[in-house]
Amino acid sequence: MALLNQQFYITLGLYAGASACYFIGYRKDNLLQVASVLTFIGFLSNFILWISRTVMSGRLPLTNGYEFVLSFSLITVLMYLIGEYKAKIKRAGGIVMLINTLLFLSIVLLMPGQINTVSPLMPALKSPWLTVHVITAIIAYSSFALAAGLALLQIRNYTPKFEVVIYKLVASGFAALSLSIVLGAIWAEQAWGSYWTWDPKETWALVTWIIYAVYLHLRQEGWRGENANTMVVAGFILVLFTFFGVNYLLSGLHSYALLL
């Protein structure tokens, strides 16, 4: 168990170091290369944690807060590395890796006991719908995280190429979020007897969906620039509230993050 704690803090340190190198190294190519290497090593370390949790629990780590953040960070960094290689979005590296650093810090502050503890699943979570519902949500959240990182850069230094990348990321995330909501509704009907209960998580997921739907609609109408990018950032803030706010401020049927 001590090894898992060490691995966790190593991953946190790698992500923090990568973020710092990206921010400092915008005009120093050598430091940017170091940042990319730290990001890749951090991803591998995160993956080791993810595999270890899978082995410990005997299932994919998708249930409580620690497991969700572990998977969320893993997919976000993977998508960023692919984007850095294919779309040349290295300028967003500092912000994206800072997001992942803060996600890992949230584990330290809000759920430290979950790192080394695995508890039996609640009856409602013992469903094949769990995997597809949560994985599609994670893909959506990761897409929105990358889009927000690029959008923050766009607000300060507009680049037409990144505008297209942001749009594609939001569109992909929106499709994944839509699928996640539909799958969650099917699962809810089986678990609780109703497709929609206006639970806080459902409500805020719907609000987030509407924000991104408005952005995509306005984008089709030719909307560009600072206001559009501000909406993308605002959408991601809602994504974070949908997870952290609902689980730690608002109680409801979806408040599983506190579970060990």
What confidence tens digit (pLDDT) does each residue in 55-64 have? 998 899 998 8
Residue 72 has pLDDT above 90, yes or no: yes
Query: Residue range 93-97: average pLDDT?
Result: 95
> In degrees, to the nearest 5, what angle opens at C-alpha 213 toward C-alphas 210 and 219?
145
**Which pTM value belongs to this model?**
0.92
Q: What is the mean pLDDT of the chain?
A: 89
- Are the CB atoms for 106 and 244 separated by under 8 Å? yes
Q: Helix 93-110 to helix 29-57 angle, to the nearest 10 degrees?
A: 40
Q: What's the pLDDT at 259? A: 47
Distance in angstroms (rounded) separating the CA atoms of residues 152 and 150:
5
The per-residue pLDDT for range 119-137, each reduced to its tens digit, is 777 766 777 888 999 999 9
Domain limits, the chain: 1-82+89-119, 120-254
CATH code of the domain occupying 120-254: 1.20.120
